[in-house]
Amino acid sequence: MKTSRLAANTVALVVAFLTAFPIYWMALSALKPPGEIQSLDVRPWTLHPTFGHFARVLTGEGFARYFVNSAVVALSVVALSAVVAFLAAVAVTRFAFRFRTTVLIMFLVAQMVPVEALTIPLFFVVRDAGLLNTLPSLVLVHLAFSLPFAIWMMRGFVAAVPESLEEAALIDGASRATVLWRILFPLVAPGLVATSVFSFIAAWNDFVFARTFIISAKENQTLPAALLVFFKPDENDWGGIMAASTLMTIPVLIFFVAVQRRLVSGLGGAVKD
């Protein structure tokens, strides 16, 4: 028993090391002086860390601006999608109505649609709406693409809350709105947070839409599309790519770590019988 526990712990630590290593390597390479990156004698540490790559990326390439743009788009999507998906999830889990199954299946089917292929028709939709080169075009499109999955996922979290809680509150004289926002909403908050992670990542990562909709307004460009600038056919600027990649990864990492604590706390308290 003791040995199997030790073996399990060892395997877990080795897997953890291997899984985290690429992230470490990215941050390390971003801090390495150019000479060490070009060196054929690769070392897993550096004695001369430098912020040269970051400085070049942030000032020379205007990444600070793209960073803010990406954040505005992703956070708008998260806030809007949380409320919209919550309401829709309540509708499909708590009510029996005509076409309920049809609506649910549509949400499921919508997740299947290959998003990249929709870039072509969406370009014309966005153009006709006069939203080309604007950040709202990205917010709206990402909201649309994150909703089906968000609703599908929220459905599970809403269903996990015993209906008896709401019924008890209704009997006690609480209004529908109170039950919805003061009782159900806090209970599914961990689920909403988990769902938000997906919406945030999808919006933060995307470069296909950013490159398609933001054509001429360079000041409205977002991070991933700007990152492509560093890829050159023959000599990749690895220092710059790793620094830009690190900048792009940090906010998502922070978001995840913040969320993780609330994920673990889960459905505690009232839900436990």
Partner 1 sequence: MTAMAAGVTAGSHRARARRGRGRVRPWLYLLPALAVLVPLFGYPVYMLGLLSVFDYRQAQVSGGQPTTFVGFGNYATLLGDARFWSVLLQTVGFAAALVVGTLAVGAALAVLMTRIGTVPRVALSLAALAAWAAPAMTGSTVWMFLFDADLGLVNQVLGIDGFNWFFDKWVTFGVVGATVVWHSFPFVMVTLYAGIQAVPGSVLEAASLDGASTWQSFWRVIVPILRPLITIVVIQSIIWDFKIFTQIYVMTNGGGIAGQNTVLNVYAYQTAFGSSEYGLGSAIGVVMTLILLVVTMFYIRALHRTGEKL
Residues 51-90 within binding reach of partner 1 (CB under 8 A): 83-85, 87-88, 90
Is residue 85 within 8 A of residue 152, CB to CB? The reply is no
* Footprint (CB under 8 A) of partner 1, residues 9-38: 9, 11-13, 15-17, 19-20, 22-23, 25-26, 29, 37-38
| Site stretch for partner 1 (CB under 8 A), options 52-60, 61-69, 136-144, 214-222 | 136-144
> Mask of contacts with partner 1, 188-207, x by CB under 8 A?
-------------x--xx-x
Question: Dihedral sign, CA of 114, 120, 125, 130?
Answer: positive
Could you tell me which stretch among 51-59, 60-68, 104-112, 213-221 binds partner 1 (CB under 8 A)?
104-112
Quick one: which H or E segment has residue 167? helix 163-171
- Site membership for partner 1, residue 143 (CB under 8 A): yes
Cα 115 → chain centroid: 16
Give the nearest distance from C-beta 263 to partner 1 in angstroms.
Answer: 7
177 binds partner 1 (CB under 8 A): no
Of 30 and 220, nearer to partner 1 (C-beta) is 30
In this complex, which beta carbon is closest to partner 1, that of residue 48 or of residue 95? 95
Interatomic CA distance for residues 186 and 66, integer angstroms: 34
Q: Which of 31, 73, 138, 147 binds partner 1 (CB under 8 A)?
A: 147
Residue 124, interface with partner 1 (CB under 8 A)? yes
Coil, helix or strand for 108?
A: helix
Going residue by residue from 213 to 242, which x/- string records binding to partner 1, judged by CB under 8 A?
Answer: -----------x--x---x----x-x--xx
- Structure token digits, residue 151: 């609703």
Distance between CA atoms of 224 and 244, rounded to whole angstroms?
9
Q: Which two tokens stand for residue 43?
A: 């070392």
Q: What is the per-residue DSSP string for 203-218? A: HHH--HHHHHH-SS-G
Which residue is associated with the tokens 């990542």? 201
Nearer to partner 1 among residue 47 and residue 120 (C-beta): 120
Q: What's the token pair of residue 115? A: 């998003």
